[in-house]
Amino acid sequence: MKVGITGGIGSGKSYVCRVLKELGIEVFDCDSEAKRLMRNSPELRQQLTALIGPETYTPEGILNKAAVAKFLLASPSNAKAIDAIVHPAVFEAFRQSGLDYMESAILFESGANVLVDKVIVVIAPKEIRLQRVMERDGISREQALQWMNRQLPQQEVIRKADFVLINDGEADIDNQINKIIKQCNKPF
């Protein structure tokens, strides 16, 4: 069974994936894979440069994350254009990985949900999520909100998911994870 793990920025997906790894379950990280492909794939490098411009990579060939983020956040159509390049490559990498678990902040938005049988959504209150993102990334509240607003509302993701995992700093994460794994019939 293939299982997707999603949740808004700052919800604690990465923490949940670390717990799963401690239980012997390796999780494919879509975000890390997208970054790796954007840095290393000649095909993606060519397509992104054609889309965004020569500032996409430095003269040394290093991905200019600031230029990509500026382009991506400038308009929904820009974000869709980048996604149309990156997402298919990430999906193919997941298929080839042989892994059963996938972490994706934008599982439904990207269409990656079709690659999995069950979906776990990690949730937390908005203010906790904002605080986590601002501290983790060293960004302003406004910037954190900009990233948060690019994702589906938490309630919508909850409606689409099979399991809800509460990561508010009070709920017992380990107990919730163990119950979900048992329901997914995944040995650990």
The verdict on whether residue 15 carries a ligand-binding annotation is yes
The verdict on whether residue 77 carries a ligand-binding annotation is no
The verdict on whether residue 97 carries a ligand-binding annotation is no
The verdict on whether residue 12 carries a ligand-binding annotation is yes
Q: Which two tokens stand for residue 157?
A: 């993701």
Tokens 């019939």: give the residue: 185
Asked whether the beta carbons of 30 and 104 are under 8 A apart, the reply is yes
Total Cβ atoms within 10 A of residue 153: 12
Strands across the sheet with 118-123, in order? 27-29, 101-103, 3-6, 118-123, 163-166
The verdict on whether residue 11 carries a ligand-binding annotation is yes
The verdict on whether residue 4 carries a ligand-binding annotation is no
CA distances from 173 to 5, 19, 58, 90 (A): 14, 9, 42, 28
Annotated binding residues: 10-15
Annotated binding residues for ATP: 10-15
